[in-house]
Amino acid sequence: MRFLNSRKIAWGICIVGCLAAVISLLFLPDLIPMHFSNGVADDFSGKIQIFLFPVLEVFIAWLTGREKVKYVLTHSKAFWSDVQYNWMINGVLGFVLFTEFWVIYMALR
């Protein structure tokens, strides 16, 4: 249970995102969809843009691991515990990872 409440999950999500970007780069077409409207891609970018997702994940994990940010979020009116804080950060990183997988899936489809 201690592993589930630690920052290791956040960094694990970042590693999975980086690996997904590196592996998918070999298979992606030159243009990949980056914006969707009603389930249809309406904006395209170069395939190197897939690395924006891992960069965002690492930035979020690094920034939220800092003590000042953690102090502000755990001592606000909500008074979150460390476990709740870690689960919130893992949820945000999981959403970014899901979005990365969705863009890869739509590009390969």
Q: What is the pLDDT of residue 4?
A: 64
pTM summary value: 0.82
- Residues of the chain above pLDDT 70, percent: 88
Question: What would the DSSP string read from start to end of 29-88?
Answer: -SEEEEEEETTEEEEEEEGGGGGHHHHHHHHHHHHHTSHHHHHHHHSSTT---HHHHHHH
Q: Model confidence over 29-48: pLDDT tens digits?
A: 999 998 888 888 889 999 99
Burial class (CB in 10 A: 0-12, 13-18, 19+), 66: exposed
Q: Model confidence over 96-105: pLDDT tens digits?
A: 999 999 999 9
Instruction: Indicate the pLDDT class of residue 82, thresholds 50, 70 and 90.
Output: confident
Q: What is the pLDDT of residue 5?
A: 65
Q: What is the pLDDT of residue 78?
A: 66
Helix axes 52-64, 8-25, angle to 10 degrees: 170
